[in-house]
Chain A
């Protein structure tokens, strides 16, 4: 546990976090552990999917796709083996929740995978964990070994006749591998380059076989759905936005942390009550609401119930739940540049609009930040970003373009102010290159 819980939280998937030895199977079994799986065994796959649809659980990784629907796309008459794959490649800047789920309650994730395996008739699954999280791979491996030892994984699980093997798989440092098709390429031992879709992973995923691929938090929410019943889970949130989710709040608040709140939780309450307001008595300037890919919101816009549909109404996205809060002193040009440096570094280089777009935007934003920008650059940044939108193989291009457009449109005055600031004398050849 890294932060104190807050009374306004509704703990469903994080409720075991504070328990002693919360990661051990004994603790899990003593607190409703694996009960949802036993329930799932009694249900037909259709009933499980119906329950998930009723719960209106939506993907917690970024896109917010309805989980029940995703699972229903698996063709069950396909003779190929089917796979369950967990996306634990948590790399979206601002996001640090999957870490806590694995660290504090790994068996909840295993149970979510078991239920998925039961639903689609699958015998093998992988948890793809980013390479930097080696200590979590160790925790997960230990939990998996415990689950095997207690008969919750392996052959004929608890006499149900079901077989399921689950393993961890280490990544090696690549944001792009959080994108589902790139993750599958990486899991097959290749460069993390995205695949053209359709076909989607549900039809042709790992080893060109039907694959259920979800974020850690999504899988972790599944046991709760079955335990509580889909309707009760849905009722925690707002219509079409069921349940709770973990929000990772960072930046200039008094109490940054990861908090579990129901969907539709008011953003104002989150910032000022749960997180204790802006630190040092400063005023709020902006919030990046769902990881660095989500368009920034101005302080005036930060007043709505946080569910997927309301984020969309605000022309941003719920994303991965990474809320980065910025106070009045924040330099937006610097933040825009740092964001673009990230995307330029992480672009896999497979498709040109993303590879070239992010690189040129980084260069232009660099000269803006250094004070050697030109007046036309502001529109150029905007236009370049707009031209990337919708023209890339995978969402990374959009993820780089969307926040950039919002930074320029909402904080144009800061970009202009940067031009008015004193002209920096050229002191190194690098700057000459930057001016072009």
Chain B
């Protein structure tokens, strides 16, 4: 399996951080960056990471099954994560979640028909003092209101048109 030049460089850089004989340590970060490029974790990716890290594909597979950010299903181009944990619950996170579900017509870990947006109700994203928060991919949005969420979704949908 081949990756873009930038990703390949990143993967090699990650691989080089761990001592000889300990390359298994690179499995999780490598999967994260590889997934960023491909859009999901694929069987080829699992085999590739296993080969590079000197472990069996099964050992990679069990890791993929454990971590919530590693997805075998393809998520949307924009993976919109809405936190409803306590601090966000207290400040309107639940309402944001309901609004997004209604507006997009999709639920938890589902993708819009055009593949543009996926939704996930996430656990605490670490923005409690600036709650409620929505994370688009890796980008944090703080003090989100329904209007701001609509603006975010509008801007995502507009970009494609």
Contacts and interface: CB of A to CB of B under 8 A. Distances in A.
Given A2-B129, A93-B128, A189 B24 contact: yes
B70 interface: yes
Nearest to A188: B25
B68 A172 contact: yes
Interface in B21-48: 22, 24-29, 31-33
B128 A324 contact: yes
A124 interface: yes
A200 interface: no
B129 A250 contact: yes
A151 B108 CA distance: 47
Counting chain A residues whose Cβ lies within 8 A of the other chain, the interface size class is 35 or more
Interface in A317-345: 322, 324, 326, 330, 334-335, 338-339, 342, 345
B28 A170 contact: yes
Interface string B47-74: 0000001010001001101111110000
A133 B28 contact: no
What band does the interface of chain B fall in when counting residues whose beta carbon is under 8 Å from A?
A: 35 or more
A186 interface: yes
Contact of B126 (A90, A189, A256): A90
A174 to B, nearest CB: 5
A256 B130 contact: yes
Contacts of B65: 191
A171 B30 CA distance: 10
B89 A334 contact: yes
Which of B65, B84, B89 has the most chain A CB within a 10 Å cutoff? B89
Interface string A247-264: 011111000111000000
Given A93-B86, A187-B25, A324-B90, A173 B124 contact: no
B17 interface: yes
A251 B65 CA distance: 33
B95 interface: no
A322 B90 CA distance: 14
Given A93-B85, A93-B86, A171-B28, A2 B69 contact: no
B35 to A, nearest CB: 9
15 contacts: A2-B129, A3-B129, A94-B124, A94-B128, A96-B127, A124-B19, A131-B67, A172-B31, A172-B67, A188-B22, A189-B25, A192-B67, A250-B91, A338-B84, A342-B86
B32 A131 contact: yes
A28 interface: no
A171 B31 CA distance: 10
A251 B25 contact: no
Contact of B86 (A126, A335, A346): A335
Contact of B70 (A126, A134, A172, A257): A172
Nearest to B67: A172
B158 to A, nearest CB: 24
Contacts of A393: none
A384 B24 CA distance: 38
A383 interface: no
Contacts of B33: 170
A167 interface: yes
B32 A172 contact: yes
A132 B27 contact: no
A251 to B, nearest CB: 4
A249 B129 contact: yes
A130 interface: yes
A172 B123 contact: no
B119 interface: no
B142 interface: yes
Given A135-B138, A192-B66, A94 B87 contact: yes
B126 A99 contact: yes
Contacts of A191: 62-63, 65-66
B125 interface: yes
Contacts of A248: 128-129
Contacts of B125: 132
A205 B65 CA distance: 24
Interface string A236-272: 0000000000001111100011100000000000000
A2 B130 contact: yes
B123 A251 contact: no
A292 interface: yes
B25 A133 contact: no
10 cross-chain pairs, A with B, having the tightest CB-CB distances, nearest first = A173-B69, A172-B67, A189-B24, A173-B68, A250-B128, A250-B87, A189-B27, A134-B138, A93-B124, A191-B66
Nearest to A193: B66
Given A94-B87, A192-B66, A251-B87, 19 more contacts: A93-B124, A96-B126, A131-B32, A131-B69, A135-B138, A169-B25, A169-B29, A172-B31, A172-B63, A172-B70, A186-B28, A189-B26, A189-B55, A191-B65, A249-B129, A250-B87, A250-B128, A288-B86, A342-B123
A338 B138 CA distance: 24
Interface string A127-158: 00011111100000000000000000000000
Nearest to B85: A93
A252 B92 CA distance: 11
